[in-house]
Structure 1
Amino acid sequence: MSGDILKERPALFLASRLKRLAERMQGDVAALGGAVGLEIQPAQYSLLATLDAYGPQTIGELSQAMGLSQPAITRNAAKLAQMGLVAIDRLHKDQRHKTVSLTARGEADMACSKALVWPQVEAAVRDLLAGMETQFLAQIDAIETALAQKPLHQRFAPAGLRLLPFSDERAALFGAINREWIEAMYRLEPADLDVLDHPRARIIEKGGEIWFVEAQGLGVVGTCALLKTGEGQYELGKMGVLEAARGRKAGEFLLREMIARVRALGARRLYLLSNSRSAAAVHLYEKLGFRHDEGIMREFGARYERCNVAMLFPLSANGAKAAA
């Protein structure tokens, strides 16, 4: 007879253990709702409750308020619209500006839920957590706060790698590292030279950032820039690792740090421009959650002659790869 691997490796499978617990509890909530004729699934309640409490919201506002990715919000809202519980108004072409609101049926089902389902659920959960409710919920708050301050990926950085900020002394390294990979695969374009020769003026003084990764025994081996291209909007660019340092996971370490940095800045949009010839880089972007985006290509792709890949990162709590 096999054992319970989730219990045997509790730290490794913490997220899966919590998901299993959630599914068991949500199954009971669904049964309570079904008993009073409601079709609402437990996972749909948080979106409905947000609309019920705060009124109509855009996809972007719901994403920020609920801490979920915009694609996840869009999928959930679409299902609720099919059920006739919400209405989605396309005010703009931009997905984030679709406004979601409760329909009359949605309002009625929420009133029924709050009267007949939620009180039973709250009473049952309090009974389940008898004697440990305050401590347990405080621990969940502490975990969420700790993850917001320092995500998991920052807690297991590859040995020997360290993140360093921009300084005028390192400005020359920014140009040298990028020149190596650009000249090896493409040609330096005017847009490249302008940024590489004037990193402080073109990036730092315009609200952007430049970071470096240092490898023990080798010094600075990689760099990346966050170019501010609008309010709450950044382009991930000029990311490169010296050929001599390949294989040390320096690029992945740097990219994870940049994603975390953009989140810390409260950005609403992170995108990048690349070329399919940089297959290893594109694969890394995909691995960490970037998605190919035709809208980004149309909006920014003309900046470089070599650009034939444009990607967008879903800036949310669930955007990055989840733990096991």
Structure 2
Amino acid sequence: MDDAIAFEGAVMLGSRLKRLAERFQAGAERIAVDCGLPTQPSQMPLLTALYRHGPQTVGDLAERIGISQPAVTRIQSRLAELGLIETSRDERDQRTRTIILTEKGKEAMDLARTVLWPRLRAAVAEVCDVDAFLAQIAAAETALAAQPLEQRPRGGLAIRRFSDDLAPDFYRINAQWIEDMYTLEPTDVDVLTHPRERLIEPGGDILFVEDPKLGIIGTCALQKTGERQFELTKMGVVPEVRGRKAGEFLLHATIERAFALGCDRLYLLSNAKGAAGVHLYEKVGFVHDEGIMEEFGKRYARCNVAMVYQGSDNPSPFGCIRSAMPGAWPT
């Protein structure tokens, strides 16, 4: 049976790491029992912090091991019941309670270091490259401390679905790049001024990329042109954000949206004059196709590039690597 969490890649990373952590902790708990330790893996960070750094307050422990104060309090209560820790009042401030290891707690930590930890290190080393894995975890922790996930990617870019109040942005962004490179033709004006009627209602969609400071900075559309067939069209980003990969972020989202709409063939029509755009399309998995040019491209004067999506080896920020259109996936 397919692994639904693993298949979705980055979008399920938190769930996958949680599942992995549960498997590590379950195994560590069984090993701890075999070693004669009364503790659970979730309690060991607090005991270790006390063992290495001496008496501490609940606030100190929460900061040192990176969990909330209520979580520390819950663990503290259980360890106190086991007789492994006790609390005392700070001599300098009677309002502050300090947590310390009891003699029984010190004996448990000595046992852990002597019997449990060497076995755990050896077991984990059989599972993965420990040094490389820990280095990646440390890098992720540092990056998230500097900028939380909700403020990413690239300063908090977000994908927005079409709504009528975004129709002026659809016109503004596309009219700008079309007029800069070509001439705004009547067919362009028709689509840009009637996006709901020309694109949404026939079964397509329009996506936007939004910057938290600049607002809507890019857009891309899907036009349904046949049964399970879509043209990727009217894609552009404002000049001031080019180079920030907002277009690539938006393009990946639009491809994913095509899959969600049941697309089996996704193609686009462009012009070699827009070399940067053509390069981006190639990067994400579009390939030049004479059949698409013959079928769709020859009717447009400014079209000399026709491409069809074949999948990419480059991971999408939205999840798994797409190697083919959905109709070609194994079931």
- What TM-score, normalized to structure 2? 0.51
**Residues 1:233 and 1:183: Cα distance change in structure 2 (over 3 Å):** same
Q: For the residues of structure 1 that align with 2:193 and 2:237, how far apart are their CA atoms?
A: 18
Alignment of 1:194-273 (within 5 A): 194-273=190-269
Q: For the residues of structure 1 that align with 2:224 and 2:299, how far apart are their CA atoms?
A: 15
> Could you tell me which amino acid in structure 2 is paired with residue 321 of structure 1?
N
Q: For the residues of structure 1 that align with 2:314 and 2:8, how far apart are their CA atoms?
A: 17
Give the CA deviation at 1:234.
0.5
What percentage of residue pairs aligned between the two structures are identical? 57
> Could you tell me which amino acid in structure 1 is paired with residue 3 of structure 2?
D
> Could you tell me which amino acid in structure 2 is paired with residue 232 of structure 1?
R
> Could you tell me which amino acid in structure 2 is paired with residue 271 of structure 1?
Y
- Cα RMSD after superposing both structures: 2.7
* Structure 1 equivalent of residue 64 of structure 2: none
Alignment of 1:41-120 (within 5 A): none
In structure 2, the residue corresponding to 1:160 is in which secondary structure? coil
Give the CA deviation at 1:260.
1.2
Q: Does 1:275 align with 2:271?
A: yes
Contact 1:165 1:212 in 2 (8 A): yes
In structure 2, the residue corresponding to 1:206 is in which secondary structure? coil
Q: For the residues of structure 2 that align with 1:148 and 1:296, how far apart are their CA atoms?
A: 32
- What TM-score, normalized to structure 1? 0.52
* Structure 1 equivalent of residue 9 of structure 2: 147
In structure 2, the residue corresponding to 1:210 is in which secondary structure? strand
Q: For the residues of structure 2 that align with 1:211 and 1:303, how far apart are their CA atoms?
A: 26
Query: Deviation digits for residues 12-35 of structure 1, max 9, x if unmatched?
Result: xxxxxxxxxxxxxxxxxxxxxxxx
* Structure 2 equivalent of residue 304 of structure 1: 300
Contact 1:208 1:228 in 2 (8 A): yes
* Structure 1 equivalent of residue 314 of structure 2: 321
Determine which structure has more spread, i.e. the larger CA radius of gyration.
2
Query: Deviation digits for residues 85-135 of structure 1, max 9, x if unmatched?
Result: xxxxxxxxxxxxxxxxxxxxxxxxxxxxxxxxxxxxxxxxxxxxxxxxxxx
**Residues 1:151 and 1:263: Cα distance change in structure 2 (over 3 Å):** farther
**Residues 1:257 and 1:198: Cα distance change in structure 2 (over 3 Å):** same
Q: For the residues of structure 2 that align with 1:149 and 1:160, how far apart are their CA atoms?
A: 16
Higher relative contact order (CA 8 A, sep 6+): 1
Contact 2:6 2:12 in 1 (8 A): no
Contact 2:266 2:308 in 1 (8 A): yes
Q: For the residues of structure 1 that align with 2:13 and 2:248, how far apart are their CA atoms?
A: 15
Q: For the residues of structure 1 that align with 2:291 and 2:186, how far apart are their CA atoms?
A: 24
Give the CA deviation at 1:191.
2.0
In structure 2, the residue corresponding to 1:163 is in which secondary structure? strand
Q: For the residues of structure 1 that align with 2:260 and 2:10, how far apart are their CA atoms?
A: 9
**Residues 1:277 and 1:163: Cα distance change in structure 2 (over 3 Å):** same
In structure 2, the residue corresponding to 1:172 is in which secondary structure? helix
Give the CA deviation at 1:277.
0.3
Q: Which runs of 5+ in 2 are unaligned?
A: 15-148, 322-331
Aligned length: 182
Q: Does 1:181 align with 2:43?
A: no
Alignment of 1:119-138 (within 5 A): none
In structure 1, the residue corresponding to 2:154 is in which secondary structure? coil
Query: Deviation digits for residues 151-192 of structure 1, max 9, x if unmatched?
Result: 99x997433200001111110110110000000011112221
> Could you tell me which amino acid in structure 1 is paired with residue 314 of structure 2?
K
In structure 1, the residue corresponding to 2:8 is in which secondary structure? helix
Q: For the residues of structure 1 that align with 2:8 and 2:218, how far apart are their CA atoms?
A: 28
> Could you tell me which amino acid in structure 1 is paired with residue 220 of structure 2?
C
Q: For the residues of structure 1 that align with 2:190 and 2:12, how far apart are their CA atoms?
A: 34
Give the CA deviation at 1:146.
3.0
